[in-house]
């Protein structure tokens, strides 16, 4: 199992428990375990009662139709997501309540009330319609962390277009692959986005991508990098490209929401798997919104006066469910920050928390480990007394980082929720509820009410440590992989009959705390981002010098896992530092900077089984400098011994 060994050791000794203060418990959204009993008694009725908190244009007639592995939730129900995130709050007296606070990297800020946000979304929705975007059309969104990203998503939802957000750090090639898989007709992008003082030239990247996309008819461009200056505006193509600000200037601020079927597509979001080709994860409307609303409210203990900040990028599922849909559907005040945590200095996040009185803060373990490394002096320069709840997501958190988060950021006052979920699950699946459960560092706790998880071995037998499994369908589950039902069935449902396989290993301790140990497949989790080893390998062999490549994750103090590559060169190529640099950059250009290998070892051979399969497990041992595991199935055990020797000498 590909569990992180150091974390596992730390977890084995972990016996500490923490609980919320009496004051926190007194005011909490969920105050006792009755919610678990209710969900256990009647799971479908539990979810139905959450669906009832939303505004439906027509009520469902059937809660769930389950034809494994295909689920439909709230059948017959008709609903619009943007209406639930915006209009509904005006009726509930939140007209002037701040919906969105945005902080730019350069310190500028914008505030949108629910009324403002509704008007802005409606203007864009009308503009998209005027460009010919219709219900069911796919719209790609390639934007930096600016309010327009959330506005674009909500505008699509309003008119029934299916959005697909592509992280702004992805390469032109990755953007093109996604657009082509979706046959998207419209792209919303920006001239550029700020990152650590520099500008990411998004429009230039988009133009490069569009050279190989035939389906895009219209491009909407937000003028973020300013001006529009010559440098970043690239060329505006006549008839195809439109400035966002010019479009919405003339648009009506009223746009009646398209009434959608509960099972209509809301969005497709791509994520990595075990093959080179990313999967378009399909999420639909009613069930998705129901589970994100319930989990946001209960897990984050969301109250009317909270200022809620999730530091993810909208290009990932966390940004979809817990920056945009979950918090806005709950009528929350959401903070969104454009830039990096260490720009202009390492106190930036805490300065923002102080400036806006952030009360709920949700981030990733990789960020927490970076804060730890930078030192608590950066934190203690600021007043963090507004914080009352902390969250973590994306990868296993080591107890040491958990305790640091608790003591330094939470000042021992704030409960921590460690939330396990995935792009595929759409919403949180495993987490403690802050006022009712004890928490243990490194453990996500237990399944959310209405979610059924267990640990199984390969044969489907129940175990205390093994594969995480989800035994019943849940409202926000993926419905399929876009255009590829077969891959959907194979990837998630073929291990056991009718049971979902998420690809993670997990264990449960004697006190019932569930800990996620990490991926058990060929998927890396580097700095909280999911990258397939095969994806990196195919980018590597795309370099003219590379004959063969193997990629593994190796333990990294801050990133969790770093990307370690082993490469065999083609004849006539000689290894050099320049070549290694060039190959690394090639991967970044093909996929995006997040996939750039941290290390590349040029080797003459790779350890293979007699049937020719690369044994990545052994490469991992080499990369982590550990004793080699079992080598008896290798065709030639001397290969890996040689590789180890080479690796050790190169490290010196």
Judged by the rule CB under 6 A, the positions of this chain that interact with ligand WT7 are 271, 317-318, 393-396, 418-423, 444, 502-504, 516, 518-519, 525, 530
Q: For the chain, what's the residue count?
A: 652
Query: Given the complex with ligand WT7, which of 392 and 545 has the nearer CB atom?
Result: 392
Any idea what the Cα angle at residue 504 is, between residues 500 and 508, rounded to 5°?
100
What secondary structure does DSSP assign to 438-481, as a single string? -B-TT--BSBPTT--EEEE-TTS-B-SEEEEEE-S--TT----B
Rounded Cα–Cα distance for residues 447 and 440 (Å): 15
Query: Given the complex with ligand WT7, which of 200 and 506 has the nearer CB atom?
Result: 506
Q: CB of 525: closest distance to ligand WT7 in angstroms?
A: 6
**CB neighbour list of residue 175: distance below 8 Å, 6 or more residues apart:** 140, 142, 166, 205, 206, 209
SS3 content of the chain, % helix, strand, coil (to 5): 35, 25, 40
Query: Given the complex with ligand WT7, which of 395 and 522 has the nearer CB atom?
Result: 395
**CB neighbour list of residue 202: distance below 8 Å, 6 or more residues apart:** 142, 143, 144, 168, 189, 190, 191, 192, 193
Query: Given the complex with ligand WT7, which of 312 and 335 has the nearer CB atom?
Result: 312
User: φ, ψ for residue 416 (rounded to 5)?
Assistant: -110, 130
Q: CB of 514: closest distance to ligand WT7 in angstroms?
A: 10
Query: Given the complex with ligand WT7, which of 56 and 421 has the nearer CB atom?
Result: 421
Query: Given the complex with ligand WT7, which of 241 and 301 has the nearer CB atom?
Result: 301
Q: CB of 254: closest distance to ligand WT7 in angstroms?
A: 35
Q: CB of 504: closest distance to ligand WT7 in angstroms?
A: 5
Q: CB of 278: closest distance to ligand WT7 in angstroms?
A: 11
Q: CB of 329: closest distance to ligand WT7 in angstroms?
A: 18
CB 335 within 8 A of CB 356: yes
Show the beta-strand stretches assigned E in 272-405. 279-284, 307-310, 333-337, 360-363, 389-393
* Angle of the 43-51 helix axis to the 286-299 helix axis, nearest 10: 90
Q: CB of 269: closest distance to ligand WT7 in angstroms?
A: 9
Q: Which residues of 398-415 are buried (b: 16+ CB within 10 A; e: fewer)?
A: bbbbbbbbbebbbeebbb
Query: Given the complex with ligand WT7, which of 118 and 470 has the nearer CB atom?
Result: 470
Q: CB of 529: closest distance to ligand WT7 in angstroms?
A: 7
Rounded Cα–Cα distance for residues 418 and 558 (Å): 18
Q: CB of 493: closest distance to ligand WT7 in angstroms?
A: 16
CA distances to 168, 332, 533 from 335, rounded to whole Å, are 19, 10, 34
Rounded Cα–Cα distance for residues 289 and 281 (Å): 16
**CB neighbour list of residue 115: distance below 8 Å, 6 or more residues apart:** 90, 95, 96
CB 496 within 8 A of CB 505: no
Query: Given the complex with ligand WT7, which of 333 and 476 has the nearer CB atom?
Result: 476
Q: CB of 401: closest distance to ligand WT7 in angstroms?
A: 12
Query: Given the complex with ligand WT7, which of 308 and 356 has the nearer CB atom?
Result: 308
Query: Given the complex with ligand WT7, which of 44 and 594 has the nearer CB atom?
Result: 594
Q: CB of 496: closest distance to ligand WT7 in angstroms?
A: 17
Rounded Cα–Cα distance for residues 560 and 562 (Å): 7
Query: Given the complex with ligand WT7, which of 314 and 622 has the nearer CB atom?
Result: 314
CB 90 within 8 A of CB 117: no
CA distances to 183, 392, 419 from 508, rounded to whole Å, are 43, 19, 16
Query: Given the complex with ligand WT7, which of 317 and 456 has the nearer CB atom?
Result: 317
Coil, strand or helix at 543: coil
Q: CB of 527: closest distance to ligand WT7 in angstroms?
A: 11
Q: CB of 622: closest distance to ligand WT7 in angstroms?
A: 23
Query: Given the complex with ligand WT7, which of 175 and 468 has the nearer CB atom?
Result: 468
Give the residue closest to ligand WT7 by C-beta: 423
Tokens of 279: 């999967």
The H-or-E segment that residue 194 falls in is strand 193-195
DSSP 8-state symbol, 595: G
């Amino acid at each position: 199992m590909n569990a992180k060994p150091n974390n596992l050791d730390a977890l084995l000794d972990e016996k500490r428990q923490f609980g919320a203060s009496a004051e926190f418990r007194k005011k909490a959204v969920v105050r006792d375990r009755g919610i678990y009993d209710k969900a256990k008694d009647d799971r479908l009725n539990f979810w139905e009662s959450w669906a009832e908190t939303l505004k439906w244009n027509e009520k469902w007639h059937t809660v769930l139709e389950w034809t494994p592995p295909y689920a439909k939730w709230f059948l017959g129900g008709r609903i619009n997501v943007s209406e639930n995130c915006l209009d509904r709050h005006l009726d509930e007296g939140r007209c002037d309540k701040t919906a969105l606070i945005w902080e730019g990297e350069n310190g500028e800020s914008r505030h949108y009330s629910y009324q403002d946000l509704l008007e802005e979304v409606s203007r864009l929705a009308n503009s998209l319609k005027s460009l010919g975007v219709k219900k069911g059309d796919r719209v790609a969104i390639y934007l930096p962390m600016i309010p327009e990203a959330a506005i674009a998503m909500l505008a699509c939802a309003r008119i029934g277009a299916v959005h697909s957000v592509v992280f702004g750090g992805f390469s032109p090639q990755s953007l093109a692959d996604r657009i082509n898989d979706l046959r998207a007709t419209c792209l919303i992008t920006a001239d550029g986005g700020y990152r650590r003082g520099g500008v990411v030239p998004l429009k230039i990247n988009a133009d490069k991508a569009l050279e190989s996309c035939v389906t895009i008819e219209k491009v909407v461009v937000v003028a973020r990098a300013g001006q529009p200056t010559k440098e970043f505006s690239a060329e505006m193509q006549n008839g195809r490209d439109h400035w966002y600000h010019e479009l919405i200037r003339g648009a009506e601020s009223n746009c009646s929401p398209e009434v959608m079927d509960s099972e209509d597509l809301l969005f497709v979001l791509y994520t990595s798997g075990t093959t080179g080709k990313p999967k378009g994860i399909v999420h639909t409307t009613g069930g998705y919104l129901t589970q994100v609303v319930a989990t946001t409210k209960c897990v984050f203990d969301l109250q009317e006066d909270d200022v809620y900040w999730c530091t993810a990028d909208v290009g990932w599922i966390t940004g979809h469910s817990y920056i945009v849909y979950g918090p806005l559907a709950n009528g929350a005040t959401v903070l969104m920050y454009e830039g990096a945590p260490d720009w202009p200095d390492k106190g930036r996040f805490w300065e923002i928390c102080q400036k806006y009185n952030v009360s709920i803060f949700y981030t990733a373990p990789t960020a927490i480990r970076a804060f730890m490394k930078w030192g608590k002096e950066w934190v203690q320069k600021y007043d963090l007394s507004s914080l009352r709840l902390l969250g973590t997501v994306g990868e296993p958190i080591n107890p040491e980082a958990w305790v640091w988060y608790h003591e330094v950021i939470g000042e021992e006052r704030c409960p921590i929720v460690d939330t396990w979920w995935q792009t595929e699950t759409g919403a949180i699946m495993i987490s403690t509820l802050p006022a009712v459960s004890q928490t243990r560092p490194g453990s996500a706790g237990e399944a959310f009410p209405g979610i059924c998880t267990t640990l199984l071995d390969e044969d489907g037998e129940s175990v205390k440590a093994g594969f995480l499994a989800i035994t019943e369908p849940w409202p926000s589950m993926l419905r399929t992989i876009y255009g590829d039902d077969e891959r959907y069935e194979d990837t998630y449902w073929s291990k056991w009959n009718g049971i979902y396989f998420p690809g993670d290993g997990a264990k449960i301790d004697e006190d019932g705390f569930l800990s996620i140990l990490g991926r058990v497949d060929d998927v890396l989790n580097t700095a909280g981002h999911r990258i397939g080893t095969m994806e990196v390998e195919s980018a590597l062999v795309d370099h003219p010098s590379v004959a063969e490549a193997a990629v593994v994750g190796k333990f990294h103090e801050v990133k969790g896992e770093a990307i370690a590559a082993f490469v065999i060169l083609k004849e006539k190529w000689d290894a050099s530092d320049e070549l290694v640099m060039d190959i690394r950059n090639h991967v970044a250009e093909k996929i995006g900077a997040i996939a750039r290998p941290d290390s590349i070892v040029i080797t003459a051979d790779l350890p293979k089984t007699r049937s020719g399969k690369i044994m990545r497990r052994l490469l991992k041992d080499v990369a982590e400098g550990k004793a080699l595991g079992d080598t008896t199935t290798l065709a030639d055990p001397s290969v890996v011994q040689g590789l180890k020797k080479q690796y050790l000498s190169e490290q010196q």
